Amino acid sequence: MFLQESLLQNLATALSQICPNASGFSQKMEETFLRYSSEDLSGEYARLFVGPYELKAPPYGSVYLDHERRVMGDSTMAVLKMYEEAGLVIDGDFRELPDHIAAELEFMYYLVYQEVRALETSKMDRALALKGTQDLFLNRLLKPWIPHFRREIKESTENEFYDALADCLLVFVKEQSPAI
């Protein structure tokens, strides 16, 4: 339990510096985390995002972007193409779909990290190209589905931790670039 509390504290600290409007939600996550047992949190996680029968809040972009509420649609192929163009391949041990929220956020982290490295080495053309990729991915393949994903979470849970997580995600993603 201590490890998760520490991670939530680190999240709140980082968000207070880079996205203050999301920081309050991460603090609420930290506060509410202590009110639930690990069984309650993992059970609600499974109910919302895993199943077994119905995903209450599917964590896949294609469910929301391809208008058929199914996975592995055209938007998933676009996500895969962007990963490949960035020189990435999906690890064989990764057991989720390419447009899972965790994979997409990790990709954004990778792009930002690579941009910072390019700036540190004065590779301005590379940094600008990476920033362009970030903007394209964020505005076409990530940001458009997050409000719908948030709504699904909030309509499907009474768990305050996941409620705050949904708000934190929405605010963080919305504030990453000025326009959709």
pLDDT at 178: 53
pTM exceeds cut of 0.75 = yes
User: Cα angle at 57 between 55 and 62, to 5 degrees?
Assistant: 90
The correct CATH number of 2-174 out of 1.10.3480.10, 3.30.70.940, 1.10.238.10, 3.30.428.10 is 1.10.3480.10
pLDDT at 67: 80
Which residues, given as ranges, of the chain have pLDDT below 50? 1-3, 179-180
CA-to-CA distance for 85 and 68, rounded, in angstroms? 27
The pLDDT of residue 2: 44
Encode pLDDT of 113-154 as tens digits. Answer: 999 999 999 999 999 999 999 999 999 999 999 999 999 999
Q: What one-character-per-residue DSSP string does 88-156 give?
A: ----TT--S-TTBHHHHHHHHHHHHHHHHHHHHTT-HHHHHHHHHHHHHHIIIIIGGGHHHHHHHHHHH
Q: What's the alpha-carbon Rg for the chain, to the nearest Å?
A: 17
Cα–Cα distance list, 62 to 107, 143, 157, 158 (Å)? 16, 12, 22, 25
